[in-house]
């Protein structure tokens, strides 16, 4: 199987309806998704190898899922929806497709938004979404 | 992927022909391809460069187009004056397109080049446009 295009990493926002429809949050041109296990260090003086050297020791910590998307707003609604989520602190379902990995459905909060206005370029936005809980579903890519 | 170069070209020509100062300076001689024995000064649509400009849910196109001004008057004054009129018309222009959405238009720069024939002067104005689908 071949490597895949970055544009196949897809982020879609749910409309909150019982049978949820997921749509793009704008013309995303770059996105980064981080899954962090936040390992907790539990090293003690007993954690030594055969040469009596101490090794750092960890246990798994609280997991965390966040993503950053950068793009262009082609129309008003998608951007305003994301801002409304930020303003009201709404938990919103997102569908996130990661090439070669699979599709997550996950409830997210808007952690941060920023807007850029290059004088000779196109206005763009940057949004950081933070998982509000563990993913609701994960369907591995086949 | 929709190449909007021709739509942008049509809109540029429309804007130039609709600009009284440019029409006055050039006699309205604005060509895609000038005649073999032209009357000077004239404006010619020069080389263009198109590039994909896309995002999720966005089909966009970037067009860099050169508009050439040809003058036969000695020196570079006439070519430069027409180039300035074109820059004024195109700076931050919002052009009407047939099918695509117009995002932005900017003047990138101008080259004024006296020609080796010792007779004509070329002013080449580089313009940049971004468009996307509905």
Structural domains present in chain A: 10-45+52-140 (4.10.410)
The whole-angstrom distance between B87's CA and the closest CA on chain A is 15
- DSSP bridge pairs for A97: A10, A103
Is A74 within 8 Å of chain B by CB? yes
> Binning pLDDT at 50, 70 and 90, where does residue B56 land?
confident
Q: Is the pLDDT of residue B106 over 80?
A: yes
The string of DSSP letters for A120-140 reads TS--EEEEEEEESSS-SEEEE
Q: How far is CA B113 from the centre of its chain?
A: 17
pLDDT score at B1: 80
Across the interface, which of A27, A120, A121 has its CB nearest the CB of B56? A27
Query: What percent of chain B clears pLDDT 70, i.e. is strictly above it?
Result: 100
CA distance B98 to B101: 9
The residue of chain B with its CA nearest to that of A12 is: B56
Q: Dihedral (C-alpha) B19, B20, B25, B29: value to the nearest 10 degrees? A: 60
Q: Calculate mean pLDDT across residues B13-21.
A: 96
Q: Which residues does chain A have within 8 Å of residue B105's beta carbon, measured at their own beta carbons?
A: none
CA B91 to the chain's CA centroid: 11
Say what the pLDDT of residue B30 is. 97
Q: Are strands A102-116 and A124-131 parallel, antiparallel or unpaired?
A: antiparallel
Alpha-carbon span A74 to B115, nearest angstrom: 44
**In this complex, is the C-beta atom of A26 within 8 Å of any C-beta atom belonging to chain B?**
yes
Taking the alpha carbons of B130, B125, B67, B51 in that order, is the dihedral positive or negative?
negative
- What's the pLDDT score for residue A57? 96
Q: CB distance from B127 to chain A under 8 Å?
A: no
Distance between the two ends of chain A, CA-based, in angstroms? 11
* Closest among A84, A83, A88, A91 to A133, alpha carbons compared: A91
Please report which confidence band the pLDDT of residue B33 belongs to, taking 50, 70 and 90 as the band edges. Answer: very high
- What is the average per-residue pLDDT within B60-64? 96
Q: Do B106 and A120 touch (CB under 8 A)?
A: yes
Left if phi > 0, otherwise alpha if psi is -120 to 50, otherwise beta: which for B28?
A: left
SS (H, E, C) B67-116: EEEEECCCCCHHHHHHHHHHHHHHCCCCCCCCCCEEEEEEEEEEEEEECC
Residue ranges in chain A whose pLDDT is less than 70? none
A93, A15 contact by CB (below 8 A): no
């Amino acid at each position: 199987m071949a490597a895949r295009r970055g544009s196949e990493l897809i982020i879609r926002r749910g409309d909150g309806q019982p049978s949820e429809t997921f749509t793009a949050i704008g013309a995303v041109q770059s996105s980064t998704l981080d899954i962090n296990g936040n390992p907790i260090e539990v090293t003690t003086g007993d954690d030594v190898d055969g040469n009596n050297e101490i090794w750092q020791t960890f246990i798994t910590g609280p997991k965390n899922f966040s993503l950053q998307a950068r793009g262009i707003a082609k129309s008003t609604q998608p951007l305003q929806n994301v801002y409304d989520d930020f303003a009201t602190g709404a938990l919103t379902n997102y569908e996130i497709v990661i090439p070669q990995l699979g599709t997550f459905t996950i409830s997210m909060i808007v952690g941060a938004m920023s807007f850029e206005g290059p004088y000779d370029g196109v206005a763009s936005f940057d949004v950081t979404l933070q998982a509000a809980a563990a993913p609701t579903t994960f369907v591995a890519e086949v | 992927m929709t190449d909007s170069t021709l739509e942008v070209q049509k809109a540029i020509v429309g804007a130039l022909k609709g600009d009284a100062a440019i029409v006055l300076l050039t006699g309205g001689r604005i060509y895609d391809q000038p005649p073999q024995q032209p009357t000077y000064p004239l404006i010619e649509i020069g080389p263009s460069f198109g590039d994909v400009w896309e995002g999720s849910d966005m089909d966009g196109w970037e067009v860099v187009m050169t508009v050439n001004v040809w003058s036969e008057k000695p020196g570079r004054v006439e070519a430069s004056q027409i180039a300035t009129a074109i820059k004024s018309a195109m700076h931050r222009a919002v052009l009407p397109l047939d099918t695509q959405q117009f995002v932005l238009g900017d003047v990138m720069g101008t080259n004024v080049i006296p020609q080796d024939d010792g007779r004509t002067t070329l002013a080449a104005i580089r313009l940049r446009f971004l468009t996307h689908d509905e």
